[in-house]
């Protein structure tokens, strides 16, 4: 399967955006699954386009569902918690760095 240039656009922020069709192809799912994920709020779309990070999230969800047998909600929760932990770790590190420079 090949894709034309119309499968990608550039956002106002200069980021590449991809069609649902492209996302379905690279994650080996279907357009219907991508649409369901958007409708359920598991991934965020900009109209009918997706950021690369959302496509990666689809792939991560698929792996969690296949490898660990998680349902869709469980897989989304695992990814959300992992992102929150990473954010908290970054904040803690920044706080520790700040404290070490102040003292």
- Give which of 41, 40, 44 is closest to 54, Cα–Cα: 44
Sign of CA dihedral 15, 21, 27, 29: positive
pLDDT in tens, 49-89: 999 999 999 999 999 999 999 999 999 999 999 999 999 99
* Residues above pLDDT 90, as percent of the chain: 77
Taking the C-alpha atoms of residue 27 and residue 102, their distance in angstroms, rounded to an integer, is 47
pLDDT in tens, 90-101: 999 999 988 888
Question: In whole angstroms, how far apart are CA 21 and each of 5, 31, 66?
Answer: 13, 6, 21
Which pTM does this prediction carry? 0.79
Q: Please state, as a whole number, how many other Cβ atoms lie within 10 Å of the Cβ of residue 51.
A: 19
Q: Please state, as a whole number, how many other Cβ atoms lie within 10 Å of the Cβ of residue 55.
A: 20
């Amino acid at each position: 399967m090949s894709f034309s240039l119309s499968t990608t656009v550039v956002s106002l922020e200069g980021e590449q955006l991809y069609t649902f069709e492209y996302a379905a192809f690279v994650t080996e799912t279907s357009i219907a699954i991508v649409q369901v994920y958007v409708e359920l709020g598991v991934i965020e779309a900009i109209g009918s386009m997706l950021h690369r990070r959302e496509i990666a999230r689809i792939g991560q969800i698929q792996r969690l569902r296949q490898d660990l047998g998680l349902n869709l909600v469980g897989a989304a929760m695992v990814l959300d918690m992992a992102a929150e932990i990473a954010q908290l770790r970054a904040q803690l590190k920044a706080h520790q760095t700040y404290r070490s420079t102040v003292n």
